[in-house]
Amino acid sequence: MEKKVEVLVCYGTLCHLMGGSDLQLLGELLPLDLQGKVDLKGAPCLNFCNEVDNGKPPFAVVNGRKIEQATVKKLIQEIRVELEKK
């Protein structure tokens, strides 16, 4: 069984305010070929927002890698990057 790409989306209030609310649609916007290959979870504030060096919200984590200014499009790209690694 192929290991799924783990995507953790920050559902913290700050990320939500700064554009993160759209990320809640990631699950249904996944292209057909990616469906079933992603383990999608939401998390309370991941605390990335406390450190300026982390970049700008909204944040997400794809297989342990922090993604700043996350958008649905950007996350789909990052999921593909992870799948190609294998």
Partner 1 sequence: MAVTNNAMLIRRDLLTHFIKLLIEDNLADVDRIPLEMRPKNESSIRCCIYKDRAVLKYKLMGMLGFSSRDEVDELIPLSDYARKAFNGEVQSDKILTVVDEACSSCLKINYMVSNMCRGCVGRPCMVNCPKEAIKIVDGKAKIDHNICVNCGQCMKVCPFHAIVYIPIPCEEACPVNAISRDEDGVEYIDSSKCIYCGKCLSACPFGAIVEKSHLVDIFRTKKSGKPLVALVAPALAGQFGGDLGRIIHSFKMLGFSQVYEVAYGAEETARLEAEELKESLNAGEKFLTSSCCPSYTMLVDKHLQELKPFVSKTATPMHYSAVKARELFPDACTVFVSPCSAKKREAMDDANVDYVLSFEEYGAWLVAAGIDLNNIESETISEPPIAEAREFAISGGVTNALRVALNSSNLNDTQVNGIDKTSIRLLKSFVKNPEANYVEVMCCEGGCVGGCNVITNPKVATRQIKNGKK
Among 21, 41, 65, 73, binds partner 1 (CB under 8 A): 21
Which listed range, 17-25, 31-39, 60-68, 75-83, lies at the site for partner 1 (CB under 8 A)? 17-25
Please name which of 1, 5, 83, 13 lies closest in space to residue 47, comparing C-alpha atoms: 13
- Residue 14 in the binding site for partner 1 (CB under 8 A): yes
Going along 1-86, which residue ranges are E strands?
5-10, 38-43, 60-62, 65-67
Minimal distance, residue 70 CB to partner 1, in Å: 11
72 contacts 22 by C-beta, under 8 angstroms: yes
For residue 40, the SS3 value is: strand
Minimal distance, residue 74 CB to partner 1, in Å: 13
The count of residues interacting with partner 1 (CB under 8 A) is: 14
